[in-house]
């Protein structure tokens, strides 16, 4: 029993760290645009498809694939930003959200047309044996995910709090009008933040694909849901909150899958969100 608890906690933290990357990207985009980008996940999925394509055609190694994932996600994210969000910067948030839904469908179709089988294999992050430590098996890919997420979060903190771009990004998140008056080009900074968020999402997509050892068109919806759920659990708009929400989501999923079964796993995650919304809607708006 105790061994199960510890093992599930480790697995939950690993999944949670992938969710954390997705949630952080989501939060950055939500922060600068005040818009929900439903196409965040599908852009990442397209990045992973690009990597799969490179893998199938040239048999490229993991590092190259990671790079392709990140670059292609940034390109796809930029496409989404130009088409859905740049035209509606001062206009309707609903229009932008609906447009991002339309692009979601479009990107999914593109992926299916390019690689028509439902499922493609993705090279494994690590195919050796798990580490045995004091009776617990620790999957190496879980450690890699946890490590990568920690490094990315630390790097992101450094960018936001120690660079000129970071000051501009936080200024735009705080007050776009005051940022413009301070000489910050809001459209340009927003695009930069969008690209940064897409790069983080691309890395998350790579880690998830390589640990599941497969890609399917469902990865898009999966990423959007997990990212959105973790961001909302963390209180909408706070980066530390997004990380915390993601880890909680990962832990709850891992434990409920073990003790209650996979059918109840997703239900529990949504139930948690429902209770938060019902009990304390103010949780969602405080930062």
Partner 1 sequence: MPALLEVADLVTAYGKIEALKGVTLEVAEGGITCLLGPNGAGKTTLMYSIAGILKPRRGSIRLRGEELGGCAPHEAVSRGIALVPENRLVFPSMSVIDNLEAGAYRRQGGRTGRGEIDADLQRMFGRFPRLKERSAQLAGTLSGGEQQMLAVARALMSRPKLLLMDEPSLGLAPLVVEEIFRIVSELHRDGTTVFLVEQNAHMALKVAQHFYLMEQGRVSFSGDPGSLAEDEVIRRAYLGSAK
Residues that bind partner 1 (CB under 8 A): 164, 167-168, 170-171, 173-175, 177-185, 287
Distance between CA atoms of 229 and 245, rounded to whole angstroms? 8
Distance between CA atoms of 144 and 138, rounded to whole angstroms? 11
Nearer to partner 1, 7 or 238 (CB): 238
CB of 196 to partner 1, least distance (A): 17
Nearer to partner 1, 90 or 282 (CB): 90
> What DSSP designation does 235 have?
T
| Exposure on the CB side of residue 271, measured as CA atoms within 13 A | 8
Nearer to partner 1, 90 or 129 (CB): 90
CB of 188 to partner 1, least distance (A): 9
Nearer to partner 1, 48 or 172 (CB): 172
The DSSP-derived string for 52-92 is HHHHHHH---HHHHHHHHHHHHHHHHHHHIIIIIGGGSSS-
Distances (CA, A) of 81 to 103, 239, 252: 10, 21, 33
Cβ–Cβ < 8 Å for 44, 275 = no
Nearer to partner 1, 137 or 286 (CB): 286
Of 224, 215, 220, nearest to 118 by C-alpha is: 215
CB of 161 to partner 1, least distance (A): 8
CB of 155 to partner 1, least distance (A): 19
CB of 284 to partner 1, least distance (A): 17
Nearer to partner 1, 21 or 168 (CB): 168
CB of 171 to partner 1, least distance (A): 5
CB of 168 to partner 1, least distance (A): 6
3-state SS assignment for residue 131: strand
Nearer to partner 1, 115 or 191 (CB): 191
What beta strand segments (E) does the chain contain?
Answer: 120-121, 131-133, 136-138, 214-215
Distances (CA, A) of 104 to 6, 109, 212, 254: 38, 9, 22, 28
């Amino acid at each position: 029993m105790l061994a199960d608890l510890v093992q599930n906690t480790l697995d939950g933290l690993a999944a949670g760290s992938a969710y954390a990357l997705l949630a952080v990207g989501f939060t950055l985009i939500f922060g600068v645009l005040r818009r929900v980008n439903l196409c965040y996940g599908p852009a990442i999925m397209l990045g992973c498809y690009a990597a799969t394509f490179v893998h199938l055609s040239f048999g490229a190694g993991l590092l190259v694939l990671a790079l392709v994932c990140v670059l292609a996600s940034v390109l796809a994210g930029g496409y989404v930003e130009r088409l859905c969000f740049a035209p509606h910067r001062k206009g309707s948030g609903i229009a932008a959200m609906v447009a991002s839904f339309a692009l979601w469908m479009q990107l999914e179709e593109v992926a299916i047309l390019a690689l028509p089988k439902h499922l493609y294999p993705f090279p494994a992050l690590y195919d050796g044996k798990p580490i045995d430590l004091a009776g617990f098996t620790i999957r190496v890919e879980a450690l890699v995910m946890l490590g990568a997420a920690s490094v990315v979060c630390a790097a992101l903190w450094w960018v936001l709090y120690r660079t000129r771009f970071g000051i501009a990004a936080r200024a735009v998140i705080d007050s776009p009008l005051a940022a413009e008056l301070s000489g910050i080009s809001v459209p340009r900074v927003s695009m930069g933040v969008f690209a940064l968020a897409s790069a983080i999402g691309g890395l998350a997509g790579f880690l998830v694909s390589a640990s599941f050892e497969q890609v399917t068109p469902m990865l898009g919806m999966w990423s959007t849901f997990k990212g959105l759920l973790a961001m909302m659990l963390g209180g909408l708009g706070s980066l530390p909150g997004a990380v915390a929400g993601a880890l909680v989501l990962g832990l709850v999923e891992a434990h409920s899958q073990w003790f209650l079964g996979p059918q109840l796993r997703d239900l529990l995650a949504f139930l948690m969100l429902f209770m938060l919304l019902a009990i304390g809607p103010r949780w969602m708006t405080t930062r």
